[in-house]
Amino acid sequence: MACNFYCDGADKAPQRSLFNALGMTKEEMQKPLIGIVSSYNEIVPGHMNIDKIVDAVKLGVAMAGGTPVVFPAIAVCDGIAMGHQGMKYSLVTRDLIADSTECMALAHHFDALVMVPNCDKNVPGLLMAAARVNVPTIFVSGGPMLAGHVKGSKTSLSSMFEAVGAYSSGKISAEEFEEYENKACPTCGSCSGMYTANSMNCLTEAIGMGLGGNGTIPAVYSERIRLAKHAGMKIMELLEKNIRPLDIMTEKAFRNALTVDMALGCSTNTMLHIPAIAHECGIDIDLDIANEISAKTPNLCHLAPAGHAYIEELNEAGGVYAVMNELNKKGLIETDIITATGKTVGENIAGCVNKNPDIIRPVEEPFSETGGIAVLRGNLAKDGCVVKRSAVVPEMLTHTGPAKVFDCEEDAQAAILGGKIVAGDVVVIRYEGPKGGPGMREMLNPTSAIQGMGLGSSVALITDGRFSGASRGASIGHVSPEAAVGGVIGIVQDGDMITVDIPNCKLSLDVDDAEIERRMAEFKPKTKELKGYLKRYASLVTSGAQGAVLKKDLD
């Protein structure tokens, strides 16, 4: 195998002298230089074990003849950031992660990369960077958390958030509430349901950028360490074969990812991240492709919050590859494309048996014949909005009710906990979009409060912000255009009737067209005084319908 960029020539002697300063030996300098992007920190539960994963990757790289060099990526814990100003800094880190990783990788001329993310924005941010840098790259995540246990039932972070509403409405005692607090999140790892982090780690497998088990092997299992060692060894094979991210992340690969997304019932945030990653690969993904793929893709899994199964059970049932093998029985998977295993998708999934048909339904007996996510359109969302259909109870698939309108999450949360939201209402939260927030905050607090207070089967929530993967119910996000850029959501008034029709993919403000036109003519969107990174982000970010990517053209 060839040595790295710096190993020969008098003109590279200054760089080699700096490698000497790092304590690197001549033998190490002769080998390919493999960058390991570590998302380790001590504030995110999903990242606190990544130092162990990185150590295993380093060993795997060294065993296979490379020189591993670690550099960092930032990470925000969405759960800790939830419900306050911190959530405005969550989505925006996706681009910081992509930008800084691009800078580090290209500035130091790494021959190949191993990305070690885990939580919500790190996975898409590093996939975006992988596309930009386009040297051989493989992903290995930190792994999912095990489910908690309260009163003999498995629990997760969404259970904890919903317990807030239950406690506030007197449905559980202070002692029961404290038990949730102490037991809902029992281990390190990305939160245990099919939330955004686990969705994106599973889709990294589906798109072909990680080894089998990347999305499902629990963080605390020793198997995760072995997977990391294999990823370190595999990157040397990818380097030798010159298999690069843009060879893997093709249009067919993104169709596979969206198909698996629908079968698993992933987080609605995938409808922001997949288009953004594809954009970096030079591929445009329109939101409507989601409905096209959903129409022919059965929903095979009901994982928390849509059901009572967790990622550890998906892993035991055979994981992502078993899901893909089920889908392939209907010819829904592109099998002839290369992946980071060095093999094709077809070779990867061959013989991957569904070991538990209660967790992964056979394609002949799905939870539903259509996929887990739907894109809605109508006069209230001309550019589209997104709902996790698989997490909506049947009686809320269609719903008409009066609007209760709020200009920020905090006001909505206070109204919900204060008993001002009643059965039949449609809660509207605006000025929380990519520009209006800015940062497109997740609305897990209000959706969980609605569920915890027993209103999940009678109240819908609509926002130009977004939802945590832990949200469930008729929670409709990414409404585009958003209020801050003059979207119709900005002129909704208390008492206006709104109709949600998920089966027919429609969302409508039931107000006379002439009245809508009159209100729009008088409408002046609210503005906020911004500073720092959020001000820069708000000036560059595009619509949620476009994946909230940043504008390339600054004119």
Q: What residues are labeled active site? A: 468
Neighbours of 389 (CB within 10 A): 25
Region at 377 (left for phi over 0; alpha for psi -120 to 50; beta for the rest)? beta
Q: Please, what is the Cα angle at 308 between 314 and 152, to 5 degrees? A: 110
Which pair of structure tokens corresponds to residue 113? 């990369």
Strands 475-480 and 33-38: unpaired
CA 443 to chain centre: 15
Which pair of structure tokens corresponds to residue 403? 């609007």
Asked whether the beta carbons of 327 and 333 are under 8 A apart, the reply is yes
Residue in 156, 139, 118 with CA at minimum distance from that of residue 40: 118
Contacts of 131 (CB under 8 A, 6+ apart): 245, 246, 249, 277, 280, 281
Round to whole Å and give the CA distance between 65 and 369. Answer: 48
Region at 209 (left for phi over 0; alpha for psi -120 to 50; beta for the rest)? alpha
